[in-house]
Amino acid sequence: MIPRTAERLLVLVGLLLFVTGSSQALYSSSDDVVALTTANFDRTVVKSDEVWVVEFYAPFCGHCRNLVPEYKKAATALKGVIKVGGVNCEEEQGLCGQHGVRGYPTIKIFGANKRSPVDYNGQRTAKDIAEAALAEAKKKIKNVLGGGGGGSSSSGGSGSNSGSGSKDDVIELTDANFDKLVLQSEEPWLVEFYAPWCGHCKNLAPHWARAATELKGKVKLGALDATVHQQKMSEYGVQGFPTIKYFPAGTKDRNSAEDYNGGRTSSDIVNWAQDKYTEDIPSPEIVQLTSEQVARDTCEKKPLCVVSVLPHILDCNADCRNGYLKILQEMGDKYKKKEWGWLWTEGGAQLDLESTLDIGGFGYPAMAVVNLKKMKYSLLRGSFSKDGINEFLRDLSFGRGHTAPVKGAELPKIHTVEPWDGKDGQLPVEEDIDLSDVDLDEKDEL
């Protein structure tokens, strides 16, 4: 039988082991997970040229313990390609607080812009973690090849990015003007909630300005000082800086805001906003070419204009014509991200245009795609069908296909015609001629 004093001693030792054991790191030096601390984090992660995946964990956290085998597996799989590390937040509370860690485990990927790591919110499997890390590595490579910024310097890589950006293109928002400018606008908005003292916000500023310039006319970019305008900060649940939210085009309310989850370089912001913009824009209208003004409104500011010449209504009734228009509408929807203009006309209605684009010589329906800036065009040589048109437009979108200069380097006069009424064509009614009142000269027969 153990004496009572010895029993108490064993209990005390057990408690000490439990307490000290709970602060032990989840990864050992033999693992491929690098132990990161306040002393080595800046030098090892932030100032390095490598992409890092970093887990902020607590040894007492059950989810963290469950993650250990998958995280080790990801570290081994990424070895030699991407660095994988871990921070024990029980011992490195200051470091974890600096990176806004509020729960465990928190995984961040330090990619192109080390000062603005990407939060990983995917599945906690080795495969998903590795794929997310590789995706960030690809972004970094793309930024470098494209001449984009995203370095880790305190200037936020603004040297090459701020030159073509203007702060004037970023709209200053306040509690007073927010609803009128953003919520009541028919245009999409990206809004940054920032604090003047925030280092990440300062790094983002030149990228935000450049993105605002590049996106002008498509997506508006605004910035709101949340330390001054705290009503909107509270309304949208802003808890850290910078926080970016997207407000889609059309009627908006408080619940329409979406969290921005892209990168922090100008190219990341532009690409993310472009994708959102093209998702929200409606399919283009397939417009009948009835006047010079219609041609200008539909195609003047477009990169390309798709011009179709459909058979005359007497050769192709309403159902036939609507069948062709349906194909064009489907193609317009498929290629709406290209923001092309789409026109159609009836065969014979715009003969000058047909002659200029060499359309009418081989029958109807026919199609030509015109680049008004370069005054070049390309003809559909295949079938006027969904597959034929798709193949033709796909090649043009990739810069392939035969082109020819527009004759005279200008489009011909567009004639004003009546729009189609949607009905079948009617042959002109022949008038019956009444000859009863007509005097005919009578001649004697020989």
Average pLDDT of the chain is 85
pLDDT digits (tens, 9 = 90+) for 360-403: 666 899 999 999 999 999 999 999 999 999 999 999 888 888 89
Catalytic residue among 64, 89, 299, 316: 64
Of 30-44, 218-232, 241-255, 325-339, give the lowest mean pLDDT range: 241-255
Residue 11: pLDDT band (50, 70, 90) is very low
Integer angstrom CA distances of residue 49 from 35, 67, 110, 118, 374: 18, 27, 10, 16, 42
Task: List the single range of 25-39, 102-116, 157-171 with lowest mean pLDDT.
Answer: 157-171
pLDDT of residue 14: 40
* Angle made by CA atoms 190, 196, 199, in degrees to the nearest 5: 90
Q: Give tens-digit pLDDT for 250-290.
A: 766 778 899 999 999 999 999 899 888 877 777 899 999 99
Cα separation, 293 vs 288, whole angstroms: 12
Q: Is 320 a catalytic residue?
A: no
Q: Which of 89, 201, 299, 316 is catalytic?
A: 201
Q: What is the pLDDT of residues 191-225, one digit of tens each?
A: 999 999 999 999 999 999 999 999 988 899 999 99
Torsions phi, psi for 273 (to 5 deg):
-65, -40
Active-site residue 316, yes or no? no
- With CA atoms as reference, report the closest residue to 156 among 198, 110, 202, 196: 202
Residue 440 has a pLDDT of 57
Q: Which domains does the chain have, with CATH numbers?
A: 34-142 (3.40.30.10), 167-280 (3.40.30.10), 287-405 (3.40.30.10)
Residue 89 among the catalytic residues: no
Query: The whole model's pTM is what?
Result: 0.45
Angle, alpha carbons 337-136-50 (nearest 5°): 150
Residue 364 in 3-state DSSP? coil
CB 370, CB 362: distance < 8 Å: no
pLDDT range class, residue 443, cuts 50, 70, 90: low
299 has catalytic annotation: no
Confidence grade of residue 445 (pLDDT, cut at 50, 70, 90) = low
Q: Mapping DSSP to helix (H, G, I), strand (E, B) and coil, where does residue 83 land?
A: strand
| Tokens (6 digits) for 57 | 């964990």
Percent above pLDDT 70 for the chain? 85
